[in-house]
Homo-oligomer: A and B are copies of this chain.
Amino acid sequence: MSNSYGKLFKITTFGESHGPAVGVIIDGCPAGLEISVEEIQHALDRRRPGQSDITTPRKEEDKVTILSGIFEGKTTGTPITLVVNNKDQHSHDYSHIQHAYRPSHADYTYTAKYGTRDYRGGGRSSARETVARVAAGALAMKLLQNYGISVNAFVSQVGKVKLRKHYSKLDFSKIDANKVRCPDGKIAARMIGVVEEARDNLDTIGGVVSCVIQGVPAGLGEPVFDKLHAELGKAMLSINAVKGFEYGSGFEGVSMHGSEHNDQFYTDNEGNIKTRTNHSGGIQGGISNGQDIYFNVAFKPVATILQPQQTINDAGEDITLQGKGRHDPCVLPRAVPIVDAMAALVIADFLLRQKVNKV
């Protein structure tokens, strides 16, 4: 009962990594939104395995099919169902992991929870589930475009290599210009080196995705529990491998004084209300103030490594697990479209919610 996200622009995802298909129902997308299957496919192509030599070399085309809710190129107001078939789901051999509790995977916790698990790969806990989120996110993103809102996620750290430039100095059109999805070419090259090193050592490495949302009007987000940043935080923390979230001044803001941290309001020449600084990250009291929203998302290193590891099996006995298969040495480049999708879904939901807040 936790496979849905969003209150008005609501998605429900389904599917296991090695079952027949993964997919999503979007219930609440407004009628009349123009969308093509190509737009959805484009978002999925950014997430697809096999894009480069620093991601998994698995070849899956992840072709999306529309089962309902879109008619003659427009949404109809009825539930939109998008499905992506899994490839070759019958051809795998799971004997090496069927009884293993892989370190820092969800094998043990799912078994503890349900008394059983689908041991074919990660089953439902696999990041393959995010295919569904990215597909749904394409519709949310289209809605945001109608409102002049942009979302730009990018890789800002890999291992210890960190992009320190302020986002205002970055060219977001360059995010996809390199295989690590960092818009600064020089830093990107260093990040790629770190990933290659990890890959060549049969190891993995973590990093940070940053995201900037621009064009959000003042007034989005809801008081008290569904604060804009609280929903962004939940949405990001729900992505596989995420360990932390901060927005605006974030963890660095804790050592600042109020006199330094407060964002002064002023009225610009066009009569717009703005703030001179933006430690608030575009959000005050959980509600957007019209300034840029920005946040960081921490990803741990991928748990699947190709080295032997000590662990136990489901009988509690010590075993040595030998990783095999084709896996990502670093999840960051492929996480970028997932962060984009979840951010778009959060904002789309609040756009709809704001429609009912005033008489």
Residue in chain B with minimal CB distance to A209: B254
Contact A266 B30 (CB under 8 A): no
| CB of A3 within 8 Å of the partner chain | yes
- Docked Cα-Cα span, A255 to B159, in Å, equals 4
| Nearest residue, chain B, Cβ from A290 | B112
A264 within 8 A of partner (CB): yes
Interface centre among A233, A235, A266, A280 (most CB of B within 10 A): A233
Q: Does A183 contact B (CB under 8 A)?
A: no
Q: Is A25 an interface residue (CB 8 A)?
A: yes
Given contacts A32-B116, A67-B21, contact A124 B78 (CB under 8 A): yes
With A233-B245, A359-B146 as contacts: A104 and B227 at CB distance below 8 Å:
no
B residues in contact with A265, CB < 8 Å: 101, 103, 108, 311-312
Q: Is the CB of B285 within 8 A of A106?
A: yes
A285: chain B residues at CB < 8 Å are 105-106, 109-110, 125
B244 A208 Cβ-Cβ under 8 A: no
Interchain CB contact (< 8 A) of A2 among B157, B219, B225: B225
Interface digits, A40-82 against B, CB 8 Å rule (1 contact, 0 not)?
0000000000000000000000000111110100111111110
Please tell me if the beta carbons of B247 and A246 are within 8 angstroms of each other in the complex.
Answer: no
B246, A31: Cβ atoms closer than 8 Å = no
Instruction: Rank and list the top 4 A-B pairs by shortest CB-CB distance, nearest first.
Output: A106-B285, A244-B246, A2-B222, A204-B258
Please pick, from B10, B76, B305, B309, the residue contacting A114 in the complex, using a CB distance under 8 A. Answer: B76
Is B27 in contact with A3, judged by CB distance below 8 angstroms?
yes
Q: Are B1 and A27 in contact (CB under 8 A)?
A: yes
Contacting A124 at CB < 8 Å: which of B33, B76, B123, B352? B76
Report yes or no: B113 in contact with A4, Cβ–Cβ below 8 A: no
Question: Please, how many angstroms separate the alpha-carbon atoms of A244 and B311 in the complex?
Answer: 33
Q: Mark A219-253, 1 if CB is under 8 A from B, else 0.
A: 11111111101110111011000011111111101
Q: Which residue of chain B lies nearest to A260 when distances are taken between CB atoms in the complex?
A: B301
| Copies of this chain in its oligomeric complex | 4
Interfacial chain B residues near A67, Cβ < 8 Å: 14-15, 19-21, 23, 83
Tell whether A117 is near chain B: CB-to-CB under 8 Å. yes
The 8 Å CB contact of A225, one of B3, B220, B303, is: B3
Which of chain A's residues 272-292 have a Cβ closer than 8 Å to chain B?
Answer: 273, 275, 279-281, 283-290
Chain B residue nearest to A266 (CB atoms) is B312
Q: How far is the CA of A12 from the CA of B258 in the complex (A)?
A: 31
Contacts of A238 in B (CB 8 A): 224-227, 230, 286
CB distance from A208 to the nearest CB of B (A): 6
**CA distance in complex: A283, B21 (Å):** 27
Of B108, B115, B227, which contacts A358 at CB under 8 A? B115
Query: Is B109 in contact with A254, judged by CB distance below 8 angstroms?
Result: no
CB of A262, distance to nearest CB on chain B (Å): 4
A283: chain B residues within 8 A (beta carbon) = 109
CB A324 to nearest CB in B, in angstroms, measures 15
Cα A182 to Cα B159 in complex, Å, equals 32
Known: A4-B225, A14-B78, A230-B234. 7 other contacts (CB 8 A): A2-B27, A16-B69, A77-B358, A104-B258, A159-B257, A246-B246, A279-B300
Contact A113 B357 (CB under 8 A): yes
